[in-house]
Structure 1
């Protein structure tokens, strides 16, 4: 099972989904992880209180790129409240707390990152960016 999870993570990192930029985004943010140098630009298009489109760019380690790809898949077409719940569930999961991971789709495969404290910021970068982008005033 661990090999399957590793393969999903490696596939998302090597072939990220929703990678690029949006010309018509309504919310944008750039976050950096100073501990390892990951940089993530997140573009979100919100329409009728739903994430109508989402894309990310930047660079970083396998975990941060895979997490960003998984996050964009998971939140696409979700309403804002559901996306915020997903951010919280992901954060709880990465911190080793009990949570419902079914809603996280492939991102649930990153659960093992909780055993590697140095990688937690890598895994949560995209999710924190989404939260900040959706709450930017």
Structure 2
């Protein structure tokens, strides 16, 4: 798939796709039959994402749903991501990288806005490790990208140096 920077005229097509996913998101809401779930937020900008997954007996994502609040980028990227990963194996989802996510989203983003786009990707990675109804709480922090004990995925957004 070409990237918008390859052809400046493609930028409008990518922006239309983003708005389509924001205005008519894929699988937005709760999934009552979820086997895995996770929450994440970016407290500095207020973006919040919750992802519910139902994994089947073959280790595939049978259903993926999200809910949340936030900017167009965070909400549209969640919709795009879940549409992309439904039907894929756990291994395929785990191999789906941050760079893959940014490419899937389309328009080039500043580093600060990339955090909005990558929030759903980080929450998805946490959801794979968090079965519903267990005490297996994990979170990924942006600073170290390590899995730690905790209630949700959260990162604090840009540092003061990044904002200047």
Task: Place the TM-score, normalised by the shorter chain, in its bin.
Answer: 0.7 to 0.9
Aligned partner of 1:109 in structure 2 is 106
Q: Does 2:2 align with 1:27?
A: no
Structure 1: runs of 5 or more not aligned: 96-100, 102-106
CA contact (8 A) 1:32 1:40 kept: yes
Out of 97, 120, 125, the position equivalent to 2:119 is 125
The match for 2:65 among 46, 50, 55 is: 55
Q: How far off its partner does 1:2 sit?
A: 0.6
**How many residues are matched?**
121
Normalised by the length of structure 2, the TM-score is 0.70
User: Is contact 1:94-1:120 (8 Å) kept?
Assistant: no
Residue correspondence of structure 1 range 8-23 to structure 2 within 5 A? 8-23=17-32
Gaps in structure 2 of 5+ consecutive residues:
1-9, 131-135, 137-164
Q: CA RMSD in A?
A: 1.5
SS at match of 1:44: strand
1:45 to 34, 47, 54: 54
User: Contact 1:41–1:58 at 8 Å: present in 2 too?
Assistant: yes
Q: Is the 8 A contact 2:51 2:124 kept in 1?
A: yes
* Bigger share in helix: 1
Contact 2:80 2:105 in 1 (8 A): no
TM-score (norm 1): 0.83
